[in-house]
């Protein structure tokens, strides 16, 4: 009788019951698959977050283990010398500021005009840190010495610190398209800048030395000027970075990274061998320290600090 009922329904213009049942099963299966994918994605994200927290805790433990650390380095990928988009004969040999947002590395490449750095030709290249492949490159820009970059996740923007000769100015760049949006001005002459989303604070390096300040999200000051350690007096200032626990400044002359806590207290200095290359900028992502060193191209290294044995 069931067969007769099915045949009867099919023959009188009504929906085939078997088709309805099949559709309901397919729909239920699709919902189940979607739910399963959501659960899996959430589980993977949670696992990645926990792994990152573990790595950050491990890094914090090492950094607190002594006031002078050594480090091993590991090359991740290289960025070759670039050329001007307007004039391919103009080589952009000098790499300066850079940053990492956790997925992409953003690096400035420029031709330095020795007479007037406001006339520097600058481009930003964007690399996938997992593949080491270039995914985008900007048009020519006028961001002076371009000494540092920081990423702002809330707006998906890059702030490029001009440094010389316009030390109070930074440019705002769209992180997706690498298009110039505009400029902003601070109340301080700075050489580097980094934003820490978890704290809603910026750290800025004050020009003329290694002292630094913290700024609120609206770029107003939190108050005091933090005094730098004298351990690295005379070193050349470069870029800065931060995480939930510390702020980091990479230095040249004898390649080093000074580390402070968020109260401004000195924690340690990390010494590393940059293989005769100049360290230019630094990023700290999920408990890992990355430094870009330059010599006929840019070399992105992971820096692994450790307490040397005596």
CATH code where residue 94 lies: 2.120.10.30
- Are 36 and 54 found together in one domain? yes
DSSP-derived secondary structure letter, 119: G
For the chain, what percent of residues have pLDDT higher than 90? 80
Positive or negative torsion for Cα 212, 213, 214, 219:
negative
Domain check: are 22 and 153 in the same one? no
Which residue segment(s) compose the domain that 51 sits in? 1-63
Per-residue model confidence (pLDDT) at position 13: 47
Residues 117 and 222 grouped into a single domain: yes
Among 63, 88, 117, where does a domain finish? Answer: 63
Are residues 6 and 98 part of one domain?
Answer: no
Average pLDDT over residues 111-119: 93
Measured from the Cβ of residue 234, the count of other Cβ atoms closer than 10 Å reads 9
The token duo for 289 is 């320290």
Does 272 lie in the same domain as 190?
yes
End-to-end CA distance of the chain: 90
Domain count, the chain: 2
Question: What is the side-by-side order of every strand in the sheet holding 298-306?
Answer: 236-242, 246-252, 256-261, 266-271, 68-79, 298-306, 288-294, 278-285
**pLDDT higher than threshold 50 for residue 196:** yes
Averaging pLDDT over each range in 32-36, 51-55, 187-191, 305-309, which range is the top one? 187-191
Task: Please report the pLDDT score of residue 257 as a whole number.
Answer: 98
Q: How confident is the model at residue 12 (pLDDT cuts 50, 70, 90)?
A: very low
Name the more confident of 51 and 217: 217
Nearest to 195 by CA among 173, 225, 218, 163: 218
**Is the backbone peptide bond immediately before 165 cis, with ω within 30 degrees of 0?**
yes
pLDDT at 30: 59
How much is the pLDDT for 7?
38
Residue 2 binned pLDDT confidence (cut-offs 50, 70, 90): very low
Same domain membership, residue 113 and residue 79: yes
pLDDT of residue 4: 39
pLDDT of residue 202: 98
Tell me the mean pLDDT in the region 275-291.
Answer: 97
Q: Which of 63, 85, 115 corresponds to the end of one domain?
A: 63
Average pLDDT over residues 257-271: 98
What is the reported pLDDT for 51?
Answer: 76
Give residue 53's pLDDT.
85
Q: What whole-number distance in Å separates Cα of residue 48 and Cα of residue 53?
A: 9
**Does the pLDDT at position 17 exceed 60?**
no
User: Is pLDDT of 15 > 70?
Assistant: no
Of the pLDDT bands very low, low, confident and very high (cuts 50, 70, 90), residue 40 is low
Quick one: average pLDDT of 99-120? 96
> Are 228 and 294 part of one and the same domain?
yes
Say if residue 76 is in the same domain as residue 2: no
Which position has the higher pLDDT, 54 or 47?
Answer: 54
Residue 45 pLDDT grade (very low, low, confident, very high; cuts 50, 70, 90):
low
Residues 25, 109, single domain; the answer is no
Residues 234 and 134 in one domain: yes
Model confidence at 294, pLDDT cuts 50, 70, 90, reads very high
Mean pLDDT of 3-28: 47
Mean pLDDT of the chain, nearest integer: 90
121-180: pLDDT as tens digits: 999 999 999 999 999 999 999 999 999 999 999 999 999 999 999 999 999 999 999 999
Domain-terminating residue out of 48, 63, 78: 63
Query: Are 129 and 276 within one domain?
Result: yes
Do residues 243 and 202 both lie within one domain? yes
């Amino acid at each position: 009788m069931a067969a007769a009922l099915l045949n009867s329904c099919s023959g009188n213009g009504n929906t085939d019951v078997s088709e309805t049942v099949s559709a309901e099963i397919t729909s239920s299966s699709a919902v189940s698959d979607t739910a399963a994918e959501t659960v899996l994605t959430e589980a993977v994200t949670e696992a990645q977050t926990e792994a990152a927290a573990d790595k950050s805790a491990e890094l914090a433990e090492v950094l607190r283990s002594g006031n002078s650390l050594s480090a091993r380095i590991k090359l991740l990928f290289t960025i070759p010398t670039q050329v001007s988009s307007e004039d391919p004969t103009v080589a952009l040999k000098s790499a300066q500021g850079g940053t990492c947002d956790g997925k992409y590395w953003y690096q400035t490449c420029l031709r330095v005009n020795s007479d007037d750095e406001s006339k520097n030709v600058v481009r930003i290249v964007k690399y996938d840190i997992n593949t080491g492949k270039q995914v985008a490159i900007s048009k020519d820009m006028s961001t002076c010495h371009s000494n540092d970059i920081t990423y702002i996740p809330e707006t998906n923007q890059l702030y490029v610190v001009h440094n010389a000769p316009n030390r109070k100015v930074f440019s705002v760049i769209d992180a997706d398209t690498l298009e110039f949006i505009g400029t902003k001005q601070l109340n301080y002459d700075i050489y580097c800048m980094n934003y820490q989303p978890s704290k809603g604070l910026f750290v800025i390096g004050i020009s003329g030395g290694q002292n630094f300040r913290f700024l609120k999200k609206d770029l107003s000051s939190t108050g005091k000027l933090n005094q730098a350690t004298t351990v690295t007096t005379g070193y050349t200032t470069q870029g800065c970075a931060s995480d939930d626990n510390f702020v980091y400044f990479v230095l040249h002359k004898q390649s080093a990274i000074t580390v402070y806590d968020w109260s401004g207290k000195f924690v340690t200095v990390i010494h590393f061998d940059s293989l005769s290359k100049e360290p230019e900028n630094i990023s700290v992502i999920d408990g890992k320290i990355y430094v870009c060193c330059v010599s006929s191209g840019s070399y992105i290294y992971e820096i692994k600090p450790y307490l040397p044995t005596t």
